[in-house]
Amino acid sequence: MERRLAAILAADVVGYSRLMELDEAGTLDALTSRRRNILTPLLAGHHGRIVKLMGDGVLVEFASAVNAVNCAVDLQKRMDEANAGLAEDRRILLRIGINIGDVMVEGGDLYGEGVNIAARLEATASPGGIWLSETVVNHVRNKSALQFEDLGVQSVKNIAQPVRIYRVAGIGVRDGAAPGPAAGSGETQSRSSIAVLPFVNLGDEADQRYFSDGMTVDIVAGLSRFRQLLVIAHNSSFQFRNKNVDVRQVARELGVRFVVEGSVRKAGTRLRIGVQLIEAATGNHVWAERFDRELEDVFAVQDEITETIVASIAGRIEESDRRRALRKSIGNLTAYDLVLRGKDRLEHGAREDVIEARALFQRSRELEPDYAEAYICLGETYFYEAISSWTADSAAAAAQVFEMGQAAARLDVQDSRIHLCLAWAQWWINGNYEMAEAQIDEAIALNPNALDNYCFKGWLSTCAGKFEQGIWCASQAIRRAPNLPEHCLTTQVIAEYLLGRFEQAIATFGRMLHPPAPMYAWIAACYANLDRPAEARAALAEFRARLQAEQAGPPLDDVEGWRLYWSKRFPAKEPESMERLFAGLRKAGLPV
């Protein structure tokens, strides 16, 4: 039997069964036309040979890897042009896999692992995309202007050794996002895609399906408010109702990277909801949770659980994306990956981390000038600088926050994070509480499930002397994401202290895993007001020690220095709020 080295291209139609069900005759006519007018001329031009046609698929042999990849790129572009003007559910999208390997020749057919790997790459490729083995990339990297995104080493069905997989950047839908925007646009480069399957009603009451359906629809609507996510409409995912489905197959048909599954069991006055977030390519469970509630107010319970699920899923998807971005080589980073890497650095908060994150966000902006997220994140780096102890010019940094927020607003005024950015800038730069509150209220209206919006409104309210509102906003953030950033708990501690609820403030402080240094001073003041001097002294000693370790404290016995320190960390609108803090600190033994 003859053997030879060949580049193998495998392609098939995404959602072929669905297309045939919609319009069998029309789908067959369209496929025939595209094979005749697009595929055949391209293969002739790139010296490819059709090995076999398989209904909606095709296997092609090339003597050159460069020819195979160039042909695939041209094919996807021509298919995209042919889809222009068609309704989304009528578009014919191909997924393509290419591999180089040793093949066995029998008649006109090819066999062997070289063919099998190409077929496996095609089966897992994103709609409109081109997935390549590492061997192919090594052959074409220095012979092509194309960019390749490293998707990591993955196990491939029926192949003994894992395969490192790449995709052609800018072609097709990133990470399996849903069909729609033009290939390579900022839309597809900056979103992860997700579908929410209909929640299964496990209860005995058949007429309670409205509840599980309502839960599903609300989750879809809530996720759609996160501009970084591309969410499949519920009428598309509802086609899988009451079907025993393979999550990976669902993801391929809908063109998504993540799938949400859930179940609802109602029994008497009890409700149990289970939900899980699955990464389709691997089948890994990214997040899972179970909720048990009493049904005193069924719709209030539904709202509460929906909000928690939505906020948790959005955070887990970004966390998963961030891990993937950190595994990629520098040469394969997209604008979205650069933003994720920058966010990872920014979380550390030190000067060098902020500067490195800023450079990553600037590179993202250069790669995609219309990517609003990059401007928002750039603004966040200046926010970190403005409130830091190391800034050379806090006012100039704050001005940059405002400028980046305005630049982002020109690109996407519907993104709630832009209004959050502008709210902070209005407050910090101008001390304009009214304008800041208007912006943060707009942010909440655009995305009522984003905890950062509630966190800042809580802080703004507390600084303005609206302590009950500050506590309420912090509780709303906690309800949406129990493992939230601790600045929300900081707001709650301060508001409770200023309301004279010293024991509650101490209990809230106890929930913090990594309290910032100033919180120990607030807790010292709480203990002092409760006439517990030993605990007050211990908290104050911890506060002093942390300041010295951070090298962030003013002279420890300088009254003016302390007052300047606190004016930056709690810029209260009303002098009475600061005086309440100073009174407690004096009782604890701090000279203010």
Which domains, ranges and CATH numbers included, belong to the chain? 2-184 (3.30.70.1230), 192-310 (3.40.50.10610), 461-592 (1.25.40.10)
Report the percentage of the chain scoring pLDDT > 70.
91
> What is the pTM assigned to this prediction?
0.60
Q: Residue 133: helix, strand or coil by DSSP?
A: strand
Contact in structure between 342 and 325 (CB atoms under 8 Å): no
The token pair that represents 145 in the structure block = 């202007």
pLDDT at 434: 92
Report the percentage of the chain scoring pLDDT > 90.
40
Could you tell me which residues come within 8 angstroms of residue 87 by beta carbon, excluding any fewer than 6 positions away?
Answer: none
- Is pLDDT of 537 > 90? yes
**Radius of gyration of the chain measured on its C-alpha atoms:** 28
pLDDT at 466: 96
Residue 153: count other Cβ atoms within 10 Å of its Cβ.
Answer: 12
Contact in structure between 131 and 125 (CB atoms under 8 Å): yes
Helices and strands (DSSP H and E) totals, the chain = 25, 14
DSSP 86: S
Strands 148-154, 163-168: pairing is: antiparallel
DSSP state string for 392-441: S-HHHHHHHHHHHHHHHHHH-TT-HHHHHHHHHHHHHHH--HHHHHHHHH
Mean pLDDT confidence for 237-252: 78
- Is pLDDT of 162 > 90? no
Question: pLDDT-based confidence at 582, cuts 50/70/90?
Answer: very high
Contact in structure between 103 and 3 (CB atoms under 8 Å): yes
Per-residue model confidence as pLDDT tens digits over 23-67 = 888 888 899 999 999 999 999 999 999 998 877 889 999 999 999
Mean pLDDT lowest for which of 85-94, 166-175, 272-281, 311-320?
166-175
CA–CA distance, 508 with 526 (Å, rounded to integer): 12
pLDDT at 205: 64
CA–CA distance, 192 with 256 (Å, rounded to integer): 8
To the nearest whole number, what is the mean pLDDT of the chain?
Answer: 85
C-alpha distances out from residue 6 to 68, 94, 112, 168, Å: 10, 22, 11, 20
Could you tell me which residues come within 8 angstroms of residue 368 by beta carbon, excluding any fewer than 6 positions away?
Answer: 186, 189, 190, 335, 374
- Is pLDDT of 174 > 80? no
pLDDT at 177: 36
pLDDT at 352: 94
Mean pLDDT confidence for 285-289: 86
CA–CA distance, 390 with 370 (Å, rounded to integer): 31
Question: pLDDT-based confidence at 326, cuts 50/70/90?
Answer: confident
Per-residue model confidence as pLDDT tens digits over 196-242 = 999 888 876 655 677 788 888 888 888 888 877 878 877 677 878 77
End-to-end Cα, the chain, rounded Å: 91
Could you tell me which residues come within 8 angstroms of residue 156 by beta carbon, excluding any fewer than 6 positions away?
Answer: 117, 120, 121, 124, 162, 163
DSSP 387: T
CA–CA distance, 526 with 505 (Å, rounded to integer): 7
pLDDT at 476: 87
Chain mean position to CA 9: 32
The token pair that represents 297 in the structure block = 């107010």
Q: Where is pLDDT greater, at 360 or 256?
A: 360
pLDDT at 160: 61
